[in-house]
Amino acid sequence: MRERDEQAFQRKKAEIMEACFNCYAENGLTGTGIQALADACGLSKASLYTYFDSLDDLIVESTAYCMSKVEDDFMQLAPTGLEDIDRFIDEVPYWTAKRHGKKYRLMYQVYTHPKYIEHGKAFFAGVNERYRAYARQLEPLLGIPCDVITPLIFIFVRASVHYALFEDEYYLKSQMSVLKQGVFLLGRQYRKENQE
């Protein structure tokens, strides 16, 4: 019984984190009060404190939770092989900007705030590990070693997020052009090495 109660509690907490994060993303960190958050969740203000010790805890936990979900969403569209790289590079930055642009802006607003910067450091340390895990998944599909793919993922994600934040088409296209060339050359190099 207790295990089911805990699972229900965690499910509800996840729903609250998503609703609050979306509310913050829509209205800004400083433009969102506790009443707006409670309304977004369909709860009373007091009920929010059943799930979080403070408003700071809510902000930090919801940012980490929701941005991890954004990463997973992003990586669900990962290329299925070298022949799929162009589609991935051409489509995904625009898709993620449209779908998650406000969330990226909020994430940077939270994680660059002096009060939350240590949480930002911890989150991005986790990002480093998650990107290495994604690179390990891509290694057999692309035929390129994980250690080579990982920095390519960083370049791709940073350029995509930069575009989502600033709609800087020149920066995006220049980064993506270099990525396409790099992946093509690396794919050819490692295919050749594997055939020898």
DSSP code at position 110: H
Render pLDDT for 63-119 as a digit per residue (tens, 0 to 9).
999 999 999 888 889 999 999 999 999 999 999 999 999 999 999 999 999 999 999
The answer to whether the CB of 41 falls within 8 A of the CB of 19 is yes
Rounded Cα distance between 35 and 58, Å, is 14
Rounded Cα distance between 10 and 20, Å, is 15
- Greatest Cα pair distance in the chain: 67
Per-residue pLDDT tens digits of the chain, which is 196 residues long: 478 799 999 999 999 999 999 999 999 988 899 999 999 999 999 999 999 999 999 999 999 999 999 998 888 899 999 999 999 999 999 999 999 999 999 999 999 999 999 999 999 999 999 999 999 999 999 999 999 999 999 999 999 999 999 999 999 999 999 999 999 999 999 988 887 7
The answer to whether the CB of 163 falls within 8 A of the CB of 93 is yes
Helices (H), 28-77: 34-41, 45-51, 55-75
